[in-house]
Each structure stands twice: as C-alpha cells, then as structure tokens.
Amino acid sequence: MRTPTFLLVCLAIGAAVFAASLALGNDYIFFAGYVVMQYVVLSTAWNILGGYCGYVNFGSAAFFALGAYSTVAIYKLITENDFYRMPMPVLMLIGGAVSGVVGLGMGYLTLRLRGAFFAIATLALAVVLQTLVVNWDFVGGSRGAYIIRPEQIEPIGNYIRYLFLIMMLLAVAAVTIARMIEHSRLGYGFATIRDDELAAEASGVPTLRLKLIATTISGALMGMAGAPFPYYIGYLQPASTFGLDYAVNSIAMPLIGGTTSWVGPLIGAVLLGSLQQIATVTISSAVNLLIVGCLLVIFVIIAPNGIVGLIHTYLQHKPEDFVGRHHVDADAPGRVP
C-alpha cells in the first residue's frame, strides 16, 4: 500500500473513531482517548530509535516534558495576559522543534557510546532537565504551573474534543512517518545499525548520521506529543511530567506490541493504554504501572518479539505491510536523497 493511500485509510479510521466517540455522548471518552493517542505517538516515536535502530532511550519523559514546558513558557510569555493565544498546532510544532534540537544535541554527545552507555546517558538527560525545570521559576518550578484551558473551540465544541482530535491527527502522522521510514532506504539503514553496526559501517552506512536522524525524529515527535499536555491537564508539575509512567510506557508498549514494525507500538499503545484507562476508572490509576510491569514480564517470557511476533509465528509467513520487512518503496529513488 502506497503512503498516500495508507494516510487516507488512517484518516478515515480516525474520522470514524471521532464520529463514534461523539455519538457516545460522553466527553470522558475524549479524556481517555487523548491519553491513548498520546501513547501511540510516544511509543511510535520511541520505536524509531529503540526498535528500528536498537538504541534504548530511557529519557522519553524528558522530550515529552520539553514539549509541555515549551507550551507553558509560551503561555506565560504571551497568553496569560490575554495577549494572544497561540494555536495548538503551532505550539506542537514549537514543542517538536525544541525537543528535536535537544534530541540532536543529545545524540551528538551520546551516540558514539553504545549499548548500556547510551541508555544511561538518556536517563541522565531526563534527570538534568527535571532539575533545570524544578529550579526555573518562570515555568512554575517545583510549585507547578496552571494553564487555563478554553471551554469551547468552534466548530468542534468542547475543547477536550479538540485536543483529542489534534492528538489523533498527530498519532496518524507519527504512524505514517514510522511506516514511511520502515519502507525506505532510511529504514534499511536503521535495521543494519540494529543488527550489526560494524558491518553496517563496512557496507557504507553512515551510522552516526542515521542515528542522529532517528534521535531527532524521535525527540521531535515526543515533544509534539507533550505540547498539548498542559492544556489537557490544566496543572503541570515536574514530578508528574517527568514521571515514570511516560518513560516506562514508551518502552513497554512497543516491546509488548512488537518493535520491528510500525504496527507494534500502535497495538501496544492501544491495548495497554486502554487497559490503563479502564483500570483508572474502575480501580485506581496507581495500578497502571503494575499492569505494565506484569504484562512486560509475561511478554518477555512468552513472546519476546511482541504481539506482532506472535502473529507472525502463528501465520508462518510475512504479510509485507505488517511484519518487520524492508522493501524500498516503489516511489522512492534508488539513490541518496
């Protein structure tokens, strides 16, 4: 399936989901659905670096928070005084740009390290950024920051429906980008880095450059996912923004869904995200990490390649569009772009 067709299909599915949610007549669906879509973006973004390239990033919360605090900073600068309310898509682009640049910088400093050293460096980044934010009074510091969410936005109505729609469009974009990468020359390069970086270099793959691309794209998408968060949550504080939920879920969802394909993080995010939302309203949000932990242990033991891997093993063949294969897209040039 070509990329434009895939995008149209995703948009159609998204429109159907939005219409169905409207028909249910309960705005809590949008509150819960926003979180699920957010995790689709975060897990897909994580998978571009972690799954495709094999570089585990423990600092997802940092990039997410960068996007969120970019929004807070802009809000404090120009919106709080009713001067101007920047459109959400613009905030997301700014959040994405900030996180992307930080991702590029972090990558340049750490991607010459391999394996556990890189993972530790990403964890260190999260700690450093949290410390900076806690001590930055302009964005609220440790006290946190209030963002006043508008009640309505025309023509959609309730603002939470608008946030859900925006996040769903971002999820469609993220999944499309991940699929495009997987089917492209870039995706082949990422796979060689994951499989054997030394052999990749010997085959002419510019591994550092590709890893920097992956880090930048991954960071940017995470930042874009974080940008609307202050408007969603209303009150942003460092402890929750840099919380374990984002780091753990960003890793667990692709691992449970399957890391070698674009569809794995989507499956993992929808499944795990929905379970967590159900648990939040029926038991408590405190069990969310317990659910993640238990599922991770189960899947590591019985299905280390995730749900996609299980399906592949069961079917005993590789449907080209769903299980980690690599073909150059028919429209893609056969040379360096």
Binding site for other proteins (CB under 8 A): 185, 188-189, 191-192, 194-196, 198-208, 260, 324-326, 328-330, 332-336
* Distance in Å, CB of 8 to other proteins, minimum: 23
The radius of gyration of the chain's CA atoms, rounded to the nearest angstrom, is 20
Cis, peptide link before residue 230, omega less than 30° from 0? no
* Distance in Å, CB of 278 to other proteins, minimum: 34
Cβ nearer to other proteins, comparing 100 with 254: 254
Cβ nearer to other proteins, comparing 202 with 290: 202
Cβ nearer to other proteins, comparing 147 with 200: 200
Determine the straight-line distance between the first and last CA of the chain, rounded to whole angstroms: 22
Cβ nearer to other proteins, comparing 85 with 209: 209
Neighbour tally for 334: CB within 10 Å: 6
154-174 exposure pattern, b = at least 16 Cβ within 10 A, e = fewer: eebeebbbbbbbbbbbbbbbb
Helix, coil or strand: residue 163: helix
* Distance in Å, CB of 209 to other proteins, minimum: 9
* Distance in Å, CB of 335 to other proteins, minimum: 4
Query: Are 258 and 247 in contact, with CB atoms under 8 Å apart?
Result: no
Residue holding tokens 């930055």?
Answer: 136
* Distance in Å, CB of 260 to other proteins, minimum: 7
* Distance in Å, CB of 183 to other proteins, minimum: 11
Q: Element (H or E) spanning 252, and its range?
A: helix 244-257
Distance CA(90)–CA(284), nearest Å, equals 34
DSSP string of 301-325, one letter each residue: HH-TTHHHHHHHHHHTS--TTTSS-
Cβ nearer to other proteins, comparing 80 with 329: 329
Cβ nearer to other proteins, comparing 161 with 183: 183
